[in-house]
């Protein structure tokens, strides 16, 4: 298994899954079916990019069940199921109906929950921490992309009310807060673990060390600054400056992506899901 390909696979999958979240809180009638179909197509393209990375040994792209292990086979099958539901959404989307988006999101989250267990080595962290970390990462990373696309839609349709962008922004801010709390809860809990090796590794993230510097860079650029930007985005929306909000979202996407890439790198070498 190529570790770098697996990180690439994870990040693209996160984008593809999380970008669907704002669609659950935005009215089809208000934004229009074209918006929902655009998000669905984008998610399918991101899923395709993830699978193209081919991180699993001997993975036959045309046959999802030919993966190297049952777990990797399950992941590819779940992602294929998510894509199937998104295709149904593209062709059968009706005003007010989001059932296919919900099913695609659930399938994608199920695949994301299994992803940390495919990384090389066995992480000493509890399984719920691993799955929770990867799912919260997907939701935060994808939601900021979905919010940015929502902001862009105001450049296409000037008659939209502020409610869709407000809802998308609140979703992103809420998920960013959840992701931040989960990261610190994980590190603090593991640093107090009864297992000396696990506690030492977790404490190393909080100390002035090679992994510690990377961890604090991950927290600063991937969590703290995006939260500050989230407050700025909300302030721009309140004064009806959707263009500024969208511009800030561009910068936020880059920062969150860098932070989550650092997160996967740290998980790869420490086994701590941050």
- The string of pLDDT tens digits covering residues 227-265 is 999 999 999 998 888 889 999 999 999 999 999 999 999
Mean pLDDT of 144-166: 89
110 versus 26: which is more confidently predicted?
110
Phi, psi of 85 (to 5 degrees): -65, -35
Residue 64, pLDDT score = 42
The boundaries of the domain holding residue 245 are 3-270
The whole-model pTM stands at: 0.91
Tokens 């990797």 belong to 72
89 versus 136: which is more confidently predicted?
136
Residue 66, pLDDT score = 39
**CATH no. for residue 247?**
1.20.1630
- The rounded mean pLDDT for the chain is 87
- For residue 119 the two structure tokens come to 């990384």
Domain count, the chain: 1
53 versus 167: which is more confidently predicted?
167
């Amino acid at each position: 298994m190529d570790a770098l390909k697996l990180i690439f696979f994870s990040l693209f999958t996160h984008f593809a899954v999380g970008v669907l979240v704002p669609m659950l809180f935005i009215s089809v009638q208000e934004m229009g079916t074209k918006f929902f179909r655009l998000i669905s197509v984008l998610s399918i393209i991101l899923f395709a990019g993830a699978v193209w990375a081919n991180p699993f040994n001997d993975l036959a792209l045309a046959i999802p069940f030919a993966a190297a292990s049952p777990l990797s086979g399950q992941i590819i099958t779940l992602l294929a199921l998510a894509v199937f539901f998104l295709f149904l959404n593209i062709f059968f989307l009706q005003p007010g109906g989001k059932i296919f988006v919900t099913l695609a999101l659930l399938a994608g989250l199920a695949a994301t929950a299994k992803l940390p267990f495919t990384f090389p080595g066995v992480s000493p962290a509890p399984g719920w921490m691993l799955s929770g970390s990867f799912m919260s990462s997907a939701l935060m990373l994808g939601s900021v992309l979905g919010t940015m696309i929502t902001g862009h839609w105001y450049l296409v349709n000037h008659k939209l009310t502020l409610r869709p962008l407000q809802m998308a922004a609140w979703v992103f801010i809420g998920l960013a807060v959840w992701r931040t709390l989960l990261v610190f809860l994980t590190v603090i809990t593991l640093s107090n673990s009864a297992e000396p090796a696990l506690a030492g590794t977790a404490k190393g993230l909080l100390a002035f060390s090679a992994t510690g510097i990377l961890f604090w860079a991950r927290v600063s650029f991937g969590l703290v600054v995006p939260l500050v930007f989230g407050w700025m985005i909300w302030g721009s929306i309140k004064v009806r400056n959707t263009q500024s909000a969208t511009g800030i979202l561009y910068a936020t996407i880059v920062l969150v992506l860098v932070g989550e890439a650092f997160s996967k790198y740290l998980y790869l070498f420490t086994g701590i899901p941050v």
